Amino acid sequence: MSVAELAAPRRLVSTRFFRSELKLIIGRRRNQAGVLVLAAVPIMIAVAIRLSGGPSSEAEGPNFFSNITGNGLFVALAALTAELPLFLPLAVAAISGDAIAGEANQGTLRYLLTVPVNRTRLLLVKFGTVVVACFTAVVIVAVSGLAIGFALFPIGDVTLLSGTQIPLGEAIWRLVLICAYLGICLTALGAIGVFISTLTEQPIGAIIGLATLTITSQILGQISQLSAIHPYLFTHYWLAFGDLLRDPVATTEITKGIVSAGVYTLIFVSLAWARFSGKDVSS
């Protein structure tokens, strides 16, 4: 080895593989279509309420909808509430379920492992792109809701769920915290999806499996007779983000939600690694 080679700084961590995976995700037409759906829901909510003059007084649902006509920021909050049970989990399922199973299905997994990419690094890169997708999906909904809300409705001081008014700037900061919290919750869902993706070579099966688990968890969470298991469901604390709209902020449920998401993420990333590191790759 020459003196020049010894003196040259080595790049300990390269992001090339990670950036390449992100470009692949962004470039897929189905993911682009999913982004359009996520962004369209807030627009449909805002336009419908604008044209009708306000939400129906008989409608059931969170108070965010009834507050939209008074402040456009509530369009973002209402959209996040509306998309959290189905659309956001489906978006996460589409990315995480395809992470490993998609490569196996296309016959590219063996090729990836023949270049200098060990299995642990491959799995971590795939999971890293899923994490980015989780946070990005939430931000897309929030930004779309803010944009259409500010365009169609008044803006100004925001009345919190506790009745206190805060400046618009502080309310937007709280929306940022809500997006961060939901991103953390969806990251746990993505970890489950990556684990399921290591179990099959059919990405559609992994996607459907994760979507089914999510819906089942939410249904179980509505059965009062099963209240003993509710705190252990990965969807149980998703709607706790409403506590960030109180004065003072109620942190108990938020903290439990973050801990729950962290535990689920750690468990299922570990299971995915255990499964993938010893998996026979035939495709």
The pLDDT tens digits for 152-177 are: 999 999 999 888 999 999 999 999 99
Give the pLDDT confidence score for residue 118 in this predicted structure.
79
* Alpha-helical regions (H) of the chain: 3-7, 16-27, 29-52, 73-83, 87-96, 101-106, 109-114, 119-152, 168-197, 203-220, 252-277
Is residue 27 assigned to a domain?
Answer: yes
Q: Is residue 5 part of a domain?
A: no
Q: Is residue 113 part of a domain?
A: yes
Is 105 among the domain residues? yes
Tell me the per-residue pLDDT of 30-78, one tens digit each, with 9 for 90 and over: 999 999 999 999 999 999 999 987 655 444 445 688 889 899 999 999 9
Assigned domain for 9 exists: no
Whether residue 283 is contained in a domain is answered as: no
* Domain carrying residue 191: 14-277
* pLDDT band, residue 240 (cuts 50/70/90): very high
Reported as a single tens digit per residue, the pLDDT across 11-34 is 545 688 889 889 989 999 999 999
In a domain, 1, yes or no: no
Domain assignment of residue 254, yes or no? yes
Sign of CA dihedral 268, 214, 31, 77: negative
* pLDDT for the residue numbered 24: 87
Number of domains making up the chain: 1
pLDDT at 282: 53
Which pTM was predicted? 0.89
Token pair of 34 as six digits: 């999913």
